[in-house]
Homo-oligomer: A and B are copies of this chain.
Amino acid sequence: MPSPDPHAMAMLVRKLESIADLSAEEREAILGLPLRTQALQAKQDIVREGDRPSQCCLILNGWACRYKLLGEGRRQILSLHIPGDVPDLQSLHLHTMDHSLGTLTKATLAFIPHDALRALTVRFPNVAAVLWRDTLIDAATFREWMTGMGRRDAYERIAHLFCELYLKQEAVGLATEHRCQIPLTQIELSDALGLTPVHFNRVLKEMREKRLIAMKAGTLAIEAWDELARACEFDPTYLHLVKRQS
């Protein structure tokens, strides 16, 4: 029986308010969305390529990723998702999944029916705009990753990802002081960057030796933010985190 869980939807409100403003009425409407929560183990699929889902998934806890599989065991991770994200929001208007979505860590999810979301967007055009904006920021991140895979070398690409993951977590209050959680294996990070784990490991070693970063037990500490950001020409514009301005 779906019943509103104020805490669950508050995650979504917090996320949306990190990228745009909501009126009190809109906030209430979001908090009243029906949902069904579910706990998953690490490395479980949530939806698969080819599926035609009738709900979206809000991450309450843990990390997830979208990915595509190719022949010969090749995998490309397309995006990484943290609590507050709705990684398959696009399924609201693209009915067939063109990629898969799965957990990376243990995770708690809240599923929201498409019907309820569509009704919300018709009733509140501004909520539609904010959700639309969220998918557009998603696309902006794809563009940045694409640029990295096409034109940045491994060192720059890794540095860029670390800057991005820190800022995304900082934006929703999950990180401060240039330290954040990255509970992923080097294999997963390599698949996100289009590298092999072996090469990723070697470049990481180089960054450690230069004292730009430290990484242990799933925690990343960026010890020289300015230098790291300069090395990869990091420009946070594409994250569009400043409300109403970007």
Contact = CB atoms under 8 A, between A and B. Distances in A.
Interface stretch (A39-47, A140-148, A167-175, A207-215): A140-148
Contact of A149 (B121, B136, B146): B146
A170 B138 CA distance: 28
Interface stretch (A29-37, A104-112, A122-130, A216-224): A122-130
Chain A contact patch, size range: 35 or more
A98 B150 contact: no
10 contacts: A70-B233, A75-B151, A93-B136, A94-B133, A94-B246, A99-B143, A121-B129, A135-B136, A142-B142, A146-B146
Interface of A: 49-50, 66, 68, 70-71, 74-76, 78, 90, 93-96, 98-99, 121-122, 125, 128-129, 132-133, 135-140, 142-147, 149-152, 193-194, 233, 237-238, 240, 244-246
